[in-house]
Amino acid sequence: EMEDKVSSTLSGLEGELKGTFYPLTGMSKETQQQLIDDHFLFKEGDRFLQAANACRFWPSGRGIYHNENKTFL
């Protein structure tokens, strides 16, 4: 539910902030690897996420957003 609210809110952004929301659930391996290579997405099993208990329900309800210029995440 929260992911849907965030996604719909972000899809309404315009101008410089207009971009794309990528839900982690169902993300293609190619998109996932590109976001990791761009340093926008952590690799699965990241020790820092594990230490912060941030991957407890990973990847359910998680996603990443960036604008078209990749200057706003």
39 is in an annotated binding site: yes
The 3-class secondary structure across the chain, one letter per residue, is CHHHHHHHHHHCCCHHHCEEEEECCCCCHHHHHHHHHCCCCCCCCCHHHHHCCCCCCCCCCCEEEEECCCCCC
Amino acid at 61: G
Residue list for the binding site = 39
**Binding-site annotation, residues for ATP:** 39
